[in-house]
Amino acid sequence: MKKFSVAVVGIGVVGAEIVKILKERNFPIREMKILATRARTEKIGDCEYEIEPTKIESFQDVDIALFAGTEGAKGASRQFGWQAVENGVVVIDNGDDYRLDPRVPLVIPEVNPHHLKNHRGFVSSPNCSTIQLVMALAPLHRHSKIKRLIVSSYQSVSGTGKAAINELQSQTMAIVKGREVEREVYPHQIAFNLFPEIGSLKEEFPGYYGEEVKTAKETRKILDEPHLAISATCVRVPVLFAHAEAVNVQFEEKLSPRGAREILNSSPGIKVIDQPEKSLYPTPLEVAGKDDVYVGRIREDSSTSNCLNLWIVGDNIRKGAALNTVQIAEEMIRQRLIS
């Protein structure tokens, strides 16, 4: 197998996970460089890596550049991405700068790998909450077309990055020890609390925050359904890793809970845990660190026709970011789109 020169851009929570996953999956690497804002040494897993400052010259002789951005992160690919493409690099971006750019395929390899054929050297990985949502819905949509979708997401602090993880941990310790709670990352205390605000308010959709708008727009783009009716409410919760979503989905034709379970059980990257009588359903604590997307609480919505409720949980740093980015590169190699 041909091996490739790979650059990982960014070494926060997602960037470190990309490096781990490349090693875990034996990605065909000839050489790898890790780029960030400044030079330093970082320990990732059981290995130490030299980090280089990012410059456009850093992309010389690089075949694939994996840009690691946390939830809503901007800037690195906007600064260096297209310049790298002009130098012959295939860019795969986990940030949200170009997800809705018509030039850029937005890809989940298990769902829409055919979109990669239209790439112009630049591919985007969707938002973490969008990935797990569409992973579960796409197989059902292929069986019975989705008419309307309502999503309530419960998103862990790791989506915001290391500082948010530290803030939840430090606030929790402060409360336990009876000390004053300090906050810097979020607009409210996150320990023992939750709030319906992720991203900034968007004038285009009055009253909606950015994460909610992404859920709608990215889902439509991935499924090739530009007019799909979607409404989302995204909530930040005091959980370290893994996002959860309560989803109400109406189909054009009836799909039974049993039929949905059978479809999902045979879908790649999906695991069904759905025995509510035994309190068996996916939770963030159990899903954290796993690569699959987990679905449970599959049941009919008795208030209307052709409608199901689902509970979807996925690790936002693994499949929701780092893994999906690496899988895009693997799929492009498989399709011989990277030479």
Q: Which are the catalytic amino acids? A: 128, 243
**What whole-number distance in Å separates Cα of residue 283 and Cα of residue 294?**
9
Torsion angle, alpha carbons of 138, 142, 144, 147, to 10: 50
Integer Cα distance of 81 and 9 in angstroms: 10
Rounded (5°) CA angle 122-123-127: 140
